[in-house]
Amino acid sequence: MKFKSLVAMVSLAVLAVYAPISLSAGRSDDAVERIGTPAPDSKFAKVHDGMYSKEIMDLIGPPTDQKSYQTGKAFIPFHFGSDNYRTEFHYKGEGVLTFSGGGMGEMGSLKLIRIEANPAESGYIH
């Protein structure tokens, strides 16, 4: 009986230590990774930190192509943070915008996490 109590206490202690880490893990709210520099008159020059996919589509139009995929965080049993899946918008002649989504309370909202400016972008998934 003492062994079961000890195991239960250790399990609770481990959960208490690691739960806040998994809840706060990931990117800061407005951190956007930038690869390349968009031309001053390009569509990507209008995009800024903290924007969501719908705002961007209203501002610069729909992407040429897009793809979505799950991240490894989607398979962590007690991960309640964001970044469970990502969506990439490919714009021909502009580059790629990457969005993160899938956290608790983030149903349908895709937040910008990466801007990859590349004038040679074909705009299509290969």
Q: Please state whether beta strands 33-35 and 65-70 pair in parallel, antiparallel, or not at all (unpaired).
A: unpaired
In the predicted model, what is the mean pLDDT of residues 47-59? Answer: 94
How far CA 90 is from CA of 69, 70, 100, 110, 116, in Å, comes to 14, 18, 15, 15, 10
pTM over 0.95: no
| 57: three-class secondary structure by DSSP | helix
pLDDT higher than 70, residue 103:
no
Give mean pLDDT, residues 74-84: 74
Average pLDDT value for residue range 53-80: 87
CB 32 within 8 A of CB 89: no
Mean pLDDT of 5-13: 65
User: Mean pLDDT of all residues in the chain?
Assistant: 82
Name the more confident of 22 and 107: 107
Tokens of 122: 């074909």
